[in-house]
Amino acid sequence: MKLARPSACCGLHDGERPAATLLLRVAFLLFAFVGLSGCEQNTFVPPPPPKVEVATPVQRSITRFLETTGTTAPVKSVDLVARVQGFLQSIDYQDGTFVKQGTTLFTIEPETYKLKLEQAKAAEAGAQATLKQAETDYRRQVDLVQRQAVSQATLDSSTATRDNAQASLQQAQANTQIAEVNYGYTNVAAPFDGIVSAHLVSVGELVGVSSPTQLATIVQLDPIWVNFNVNEQDVLRIREDARRRGLTVNEIRQLPVEVGLQTETGYPHKGRLDYISPTLNQSTGTLAVRGILENPERVLLPGFFVRVRVPYDQQQDALLVPDIALGSDQAGRYVLVVNGENVVEQRKVQAGQLEGELRVIDSGLKPDDRVVIAGLLRAIPGQKVDPQLQKIEASAAAK
């Protein structure tokens, strides 16, 4: 007699186990669904607006400048040449040194021309003696004619002799002057203070044979010129400002000129306008202008490429913003401005000159506009931002 085994799961038989397990799983899922449906659903919370730094433009008076580039040029530059023929006897300077006016630089065989000068002086002395004798004879013949002791023909002959002697003396005097000039040419001296280039001939070389021979070049460096060009639009604007201020042409020519080298900060070299061309160059549409500057230390050399600016007007209450706050696109320059609703706007502006780290805004901006000066990448036109009001440092406006 076999006994039946008790069920391993709540008295259920083996065939009933899968059905019970399924019922338990369904009940668990229903319970979980009911529990989840009773919880609060997740919702999207947008991030806060990005923070950007804004500031109102700086207002102060500025000096309007015409800024351009130019080149330096010597006020005087002369080629020293041999104006008489002869052998170069000596070179009396060191190449590239500064010399004063009148300093002897070259000597060209002076003995020959000294002898020619003495010869001319001797001929002049002889002509003077002949004239003196002719004058004495003429006065004697005049007295004899008055006493009717000689004929008029004798007096006429004496008069002609006197006139010829006088002409010979004048010719002798001219020959003496020519000989004296040629003798002076044997001593080539500095015509002004300046620096002399390296000599182009050697001692003992025959110079001035068929044409004047160049010996060297002397250049004056103090003062020095700076040449630059002004475009037609700037010319019209400056002339209009001059008329408004009542400036004459002579007063415009006295405007200061400031110059800076490419390796220098600012414009440390000061001068004034020296020349303004009366006409514009039709091919370039520019006006040639020249300034003159003192150069006692000879910092500026002829041929330097320099930065030039000319102050021509004063403006009160100009608006300035940091130069880094400006952007540019195909339409021109712009700044980002935060409006009253803290929305970023792109504002087209007309940018002016640079004042230290600040840029003058000629038009397109108002004094109370809040300009984005930091966090530009987070400021997107049309989107809100969290503006943090700052103050533009005064040191940024230093020239």
Distance between CA 113 and CA 123 in Å, rounded? 15
Backbone angles phi, psi at 88, to 5 degrees: -70, 120
Distance between CA 160 and CA 59 in Å, rounded? 93
∠ CA 220-311-269, nearest 5°, is: 35
Distance between CA 11 and CA 20 in Å, rounded? 12
pLDDT in tens, 39-77: 556 677 788 999 999 999 999 898 888 889 999 999 999
Give the model's pLDDT for residue 252.
78
Q: Is the pLDDT of residue 92 over 50?
A: yes
Q: Is the pLDDT of residue 204 over 80?
A: yes
**DSSP for residue 180:** H
Cβ neighbours of 315 (radius 10 Å): 13
366 pLDDT tier (thresholds 50, 70, 90) = very high
Backbone angles phi, psi at 369, to 5 degrees: -70, 140
Who has greater pLDDT, 200 or 40? 200
Among candidate residues 123, 106, 89, 120, the one with its CA nearest the CA of residue 185: 106
- Report, as an integer, the average pLDDT of 211-227: 94
396 pLDDT tier (thresholds 50, 70, 90) = low
Query: Which token pair is 37?
Result: 């449906």
- Residues 290, 225 contacting (CB under 8 angstroms): yes
pLDDT in tens, 307-351: 999 988 888 889 999 999 999 999 899 999 999 999 999 999 999
Q: Is the pLDDT of residue 34 over 70?
A: no
Residue ranges in the chain assigned as alpha helix (H):
17-37, 110-146, 152-185, 232-245, 249-252
Who has greater pLDDT, 38 or 157? 157
- Report, as an integer, the average pLDDT of 186-192: 95
Q: Is the pLDDT of residue 7 over 50?
A: no
20 pLDDT tier (thresholds 50, 70, 90) = low
Give the model's pLDDT for residue 9.
43
| 255 Cβ neighbours under 8 A, 6+ residues apart | 272, 273, 310, 311, 312
User: End-to-end distance of the chain based on CA atoms, in angstroms?
Assistant: 119
Give the model's pLDDT for residue 11.
46
Give 112: exposed, middle or buried? Use CB within 10 Å, 0-12, 13-18, 19+.
Answer: middle
Give the model's pLDDT for residue 394.
57
Does a cis peptide bond (omega within 30 degrees of 0) precede residue 223?
yes
Task: Using a cut of 0.75, tell me whether the model's pTM lies above it.
Answer: no
β-bridge partners, 260? 307
What DSSP string runs through 268-321? -EEEEEEEEEEEEETTTTEEEEEEEE--TT--S-TT-EEEEEEEEEEEEEEEEE
Q: Is the pLDDT of residue 38 over 60?
A: no
Distance between CA 14 and CA 141 in Å, rounded? 184
Q: Is the pLDDT of residue 2 over 50?
A: no
For the ranges 103-117, 317-331, 368-382, 385-399, the lowest mean pLDDT is seen at 385-399
Cβ neighbours of 336 (radius 10 Å): 23
Distance between CA 64 and CA 328 in Å, rounded? 23
Distance between CA 338 and CA 387 in Å, rounded? 8
Cβ neighbours of 383 (radius 10 Å): 12
Give the model's pLDDT for residue 27.
58
Query: Which token pair is 257?
Result: 């000129």
Residue owning tokens 């091919």:
283
Cβ neighbours of 200 (radius 10 Å): 15
- Report, as an integer, the average pLDDT of 278-299: 93
Query: How much helix, strand and coil, in percent to the nearest 5, is found in the chain?
Result: 30, 40, 30
Dihedral sign, Cα of residue 270, residue 273, residue 277, residue 281: positive
Could you tell me the domains of the chain?
Answer: 53-61+316-397 (2.40.420.20), 65-74+220-315 (2.40.30.170), 111-185 (1.10.287)
Helix (H, G, I), strand (E, B) or coil at 22: helix
354 pLDDT tier (thresholds 50, 70, 90) = confident
Backbone angles phi, psi at 188, to 5 degrees: -85, 110
Q: Is the pLDDT of residue 16 over 80?
A: no
